């Protein structure tokens, strides 16, 4: 039986179908999880995709964190279930306190869109277990509020616990410590600003995102 990946859909999400195509190409099945429904339908992993949930009103993810589905995602994560937030999904996870820190406006107040090189910093996460430490991947970014920030105490904790999952090779947005993605203390919740689903097919110009999705599917049981 194929592993099923639940892809959360909020009003304003716009990358859910790209994520579905990426995971289905690797042999998984995928199911849309509507934000107003708390039932995760027995999925094996959850992806919160990019977009502009609820129009990014107040701030990105601030409204989405209160959706019924997020309570179930929090329970799923607490039980060890793999959860990945991409771009706006990363913002939602920080607002929901499933990941530390926050995403603020990019340095220079510039919208950043284009390929970005990121370096794998740890393979001890559900998103990078199949990668190699030090490997550099070309993964597109597409954000205005992608500037990761956290307190000095949180940064020290992330470093000490090897929880910085990926860093930018050439920081495009001012993120603290060049951070592009982090994981939870349990290592099963990961958020990153780059879009691996946009680097999952040769037609897209890069297949570097495939190793990340393979890692997620492995964690989910494929």
Query: Average pLDDT, stretch 143-172?
Result: 97
Q: Is 195 a catalytic residue?
A: yes
Q: Provide the pLDDT for residue 43.
A: 98
Which positions ≥6 away from 160 have C-beta within 8 Å? none
- On whether the CB atoms of residues 9 and 47 are closer than 8 A, the answer is no
Report the domain count for the chain: 1
pLDDT band at 204 (very low <50, low <70, confident <90, very high): very high
Which positions ≥6 away from 187 have C-beta within 8 Å? 124, 125, 126, 163
Q: Tell me the residue range of the domain where 180 lies.
A: 4-220
Query: Average pLDDT, stretch 77-96?
Result: 98
- On whether the CB atoms of residues 112 and 106 are closer than 8 A, the answer is yes
- On whether the CB atoms of residues 79 and 44 are closer than 8 A, the answer is no
CATH number, domain with residue 102: 3.40.50.880
8-state DSSP, 105: P
What rounded mean pLDDT belongs to the chain?
Answer: 96
Q: Is 87 a catalytic residue?
A: yes
Q: Which of 15, 87, 150, 183 is catalytic?
A: 87
Take residue 72 and report the two structure tokens written for it. Answer: 């179930």
Q: Provide the pLDDT for residue 59.
A: 87
Query: Average pLDDT, stretch 49-73?
Result: 93
Q: Is 31 a catalytic residue?
A: no
Q: Provide the pLDDT for residue 221.
A: 86
Q: Provide the pLDDT for residue 1.
A: 65
Residue 208 clears pLDDT 70, i.e. is over it: yes
């Amino acid at each position: 039986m194929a592993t099923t990946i639940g892809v959360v859909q909020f009003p304003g999400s716009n990358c859910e179908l790209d994520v579905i195509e990426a995971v289905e190409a690797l042999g998984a099945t995928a199911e849309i999880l509507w934000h107003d429904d708390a039932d995760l339908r027995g999925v094996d992993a959850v992806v919160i995709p990019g977009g502009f949930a609820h129009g990014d009103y107040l701030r990105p993810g601030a409204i989405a964190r209160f959706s019924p589905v997020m309570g179930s995602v929090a329970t799923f994560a607490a039980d060890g279930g793999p959860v990945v937030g991409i771009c706006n999904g990363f913002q939602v996870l920080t607002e929901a306190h499933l990941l530390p820190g926050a995403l603020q406006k990019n340095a220079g107040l510039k919208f950043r869109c284009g390929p970005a090189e990121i370096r794998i910093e740890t393979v001890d996460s559900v998103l990078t277990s199949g990668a190699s430490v030090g490997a550099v991947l070309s993964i597109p970014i597409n954000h205005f509020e992608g500037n990761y920030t956290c307190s000095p105490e949180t940064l020290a904790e992330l470093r000490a616990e090897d929880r910085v999952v990926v860093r930018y090779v050439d920081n495009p947005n001012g993120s603290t410590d060049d951070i592009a993605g982090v994981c939870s203390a349990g290592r099963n919740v990961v958020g990153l600003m780059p879009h691996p689903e946009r680097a999952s097919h040769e037609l897209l110009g890069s297949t570097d995102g495939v190793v990340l999705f393979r890692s997620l599917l492995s964690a989910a049981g494929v």
